[in-house]
Amino acid sequence: MQKIIPFLWFDTEAEEAAQFYVSLFPNSKIGKIVRYSAAGPGPAGSVMTVQFELDGRPYVGLNGGPMYKFTPAVSFQIDCKDQAEVDHYWNAFAAGGREIQCGWITDRFGLSWQVVPEALPRLMGDPDPAKAQRVAQAMMKMVKLDVAKLEAAAAG
C-alpha cells in the first residue's frame, strides 16, 4: 500500500481525465469509482472520486468543483527513452492542451507535464561544461524537446 498518493482536484472531469491518462501509459488501469450521494455536494450519482494507476502508481481524481485549478507549480515528469516516446506523450497532451517551453506542456484538463528524453540529463550533466552549456542553451530555445538537436548542440 502506498503511503503517498497524488490526489488531483478536477472541476467535473476526473473520470474523463483518468480514462485519458490510462490510455497513454502502459501498466495503467481505472480502479474504484465513488459517486456522490443525495447528500452532495455534487449531483447525486455523479462521480466524486476515481482511483487509477499510471504505470503502476496510484492516483485519485476528485470532481470537487471549479474552486481550484492546476498550475505549473506542480507537474509530473515523464522520462522518455527516445524521441518517439517524447512525440507520443507530447502529441497526446497537445491535443486541446497548451505547449509551454523546455519540454513543459499543459494537457486539456489543465495538468502540467514535463516530457523529458533520457538524453537531456545525460547531456546537461556532461563533465565538459562547454558541452553542458550548449545543451542548456539549445533546450531553452525549444518548446518540445528534440533529442537530435540536443545531441547536435552537445557535439558543437
Q: Do domains 1-68 and 70-156 have the same CATH topology?
A: no
Residue 122 and residue 83: Cα distance in Å, rounded? 15
Give the percent of the chain with pLDDT over 70.
100
pTM: 0.93
CATH class entry, domain 70-156: alpha beta
* 46 φ/ψ angles, rounded to the nearest 5 degrees: -80, 160
Q: In a 10 Å sphere around its CB, with 0-12 CB exposed, 13-18 middle and 19+ buried, how is residue 10 labelled?
A: buried
- SS3 sequence of 90-141: HHHHHCCCEECCCCEEECCCCCEEEEEECHHHHHHCCCCHHHHHHHHHHHHC
pLDDT, residue 65, reads: 95
pLDDT tens-place string over residues 61-74:
999 999 999 999 99
Task: Please report, for the chain, the start and end positions of each structural domain, with discontinuous segments joined by +.
Answer: 1-68, 70-156
pLDDT, residue 95, reads: 97
* 12 φ/ψ angles, rounded to the nearest 5 degrees: -135, 5
Domain 1-68 sits in CATH 3.30.1360.70: no
> Residue 117 forms beta bridges with which residues?
80
> Is the pLDDT assigned to residue 40 strictly greater than 90?
no
